[in-house]
């Protein structure tokens, strides 16, 4: 079994605290073969990308750790690129300025630079929120640069945590099929984000039923990421994620080098 955690945040992320060296040592302790460091590059309508993340220092430090841990741990330069449609010029400029191994395309802010995390779901129609969210994912998939689409059911985490709502996704099957068709035609993939297994929702993002639908649509490219922001959460659910995608019919996980997919047997 090849173990790769493809969604990890370091102290460079606005919501991260961990040193890269500590992350690497912990990954080795846990028996990981490979990690991708994917700090937040959330794109905002009204600010340059350089105000979001110290990319130069981050990637310089990753280069140092790649050298330090060579032969013990494969370390990939990644990013979680949030809602590039909020400012396409800045998103494009960032990707031109830095050579990466891996890009997660995510949606955190559906509109007006407001993260779904900040929503008051008591005052909102949860179905409408998710309808808007998946449409934003479709726009991202159609028009922007990424390798996998991240945490496809991100709003469901907060709907359940705050209101106990477990949204029925059956009405969104056609939209998921549309999203997957675009992703597959472009040679891209999806992420299975396992952070929800450690939270009250106790479910990956997306859930098994959606992963199975992606497989049914012909999907092949699939990564697994813990979305760890703290060392105690690093890679702890990666084996569960692999079991889940195996149940969905996948025989391989995907890793990346210089934006090119590599398939590893699970």
Reduced to 3 states, what is the DSSP secondary structure of residue 53? coil
- C-alpha torsion sign, points 41, 45, 51, 57: positive
Peptide bond into 12 cis (omega under 30): no
> What confidence score (pLDDT) does residue 54 get?
97
Shortest CA distance to 132 belongs to which of 162, 148, 163, 154?
154
> What confidence score (pLDDT) does residue 29 get?
98
Reduced to 3 states, what is the DSSP secondary structure of residue 95? helix
> What confidence score (pLDDT) does residue 262 get?
98
For the stretch 56-95, pLDDT in tens is 999 999 999 999 999 999 999 999 999 999 999 999 999 9
Q: What is the mean pLDDT of each run of 10 residues along the chain (266 residues)?
A: 97 96 98 98 97 97 98 98 98 98 98 96 96 98 98 97 94 98 98 96 97 98 98 97 98 98 96
**Is residue 252 a contact partner of residue 2, using CB atoms and an 8 Å limit?**
no
Residue 122 DSSP class = G
Tokens 């391989």 — which residue?
A: 252
> What is the b/e burial string over 225-245, where b = at least 16 CB atoms within 10 angstroms of the residue's CB?
bbbbbeeebbbbbbbebbebb
The total number of residues shown for the chain amounts to 266
pTM of the model: 0.98
Domain 4-265 in CATH 3.40.50.1820? no
How far apart are the C-alpha atoms of 243 and 161, rounded to whole Å?
25
Q: How many CA atoms lie within 13 A of 250 on its CB side?
A: 31
> What confidence score (pLDDT) does residue 21 get?
98
What token pair was written down for 244? 């889940």
- CA distances 112 to 13, 14, 31, 44, 46, Å, are 21, 19, 42, 9, 10
> What confidence score (pLDDT) does residue 119 get?
97
> What confidence score (pLDDT) does residue 166 get?
94
> What confidence score (pLDDT) does residue 53 get?
97
> What confidence score (pLDDT) does residue 168 get?
95
> What confidence score (pLDDT) does residue 256 get?
98
> What confidence score (pLDDT) does residue 224 get?
98
**CB within 8 Å of 137: residues ≥ 6 apart:** 107, 149, 152, 179
How far apart are the C-alpha atoms of 153 and 40, rounded to whole Å?
18
DSSP 54-89: -HHHHHHHHHHHHHHTTTT-EEEEEEEEE-GGG-HH
Domain extents for the chain? 4-265
What is the widest separation between alpha-carbon atoms in the chain? 52
**Is residue 150 a contact partner of residue 191, using CB atoms and an 8 Å limit?**
yes
């Amino acid at each position: 079994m090849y173990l790769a955690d493809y969604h990890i945040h370091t102290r460079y992320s606005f919501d991260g605290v961990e040193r890269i060296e500590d992350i690497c040592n912990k990954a080795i302790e846990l028996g990981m073969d490979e990690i991708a460091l994917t700090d937040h590059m959330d794109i905002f309508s009204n600010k340059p990308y350089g105000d979001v993340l110290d990319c130069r220092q981050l990637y310089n430090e990753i280069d140092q750790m790649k050298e330090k841990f060579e032969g013990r741990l494969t370390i990939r330069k990644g990013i979680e690129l949030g809602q590039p449609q909020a400012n396409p010029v800045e998103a494009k400029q960032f990707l031109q300025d830095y050579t990466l191994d891996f890009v997660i395309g995510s949606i955190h802010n559906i509109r007006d630079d407001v993260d779904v995390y900040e929503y008051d779901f008591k005052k909102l129609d949860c179905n409408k929120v998710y309808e808007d969210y998946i449409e934003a994912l479709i726009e991202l998939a159609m028009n922007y640069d990424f390798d996998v689409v991240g945490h496809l059911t991100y709003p469901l985490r907060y709907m359940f945590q705050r209101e106990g709502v477990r949204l029925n996704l059956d009405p969104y099957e056609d939209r998921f099929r549309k999203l997957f068709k675009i992703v597959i035609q472009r040679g891209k993939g999806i992420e299975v984000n396992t952070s929800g297994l450690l939270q009250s929702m106790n479910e990956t993002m997306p859930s098994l039923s959606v992963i199975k639908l992606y497989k049914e649509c012909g999907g092949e490219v699939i990564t697994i990421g813990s979305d760890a922001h703290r060392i105690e959460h690093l890679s702890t659910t990666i084996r569960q994620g692999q079991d889940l995608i195996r149940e969905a019919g996948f025989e391989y996980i995907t890793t990346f080098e210089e934006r090119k997919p590599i398939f590893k047997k699970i």
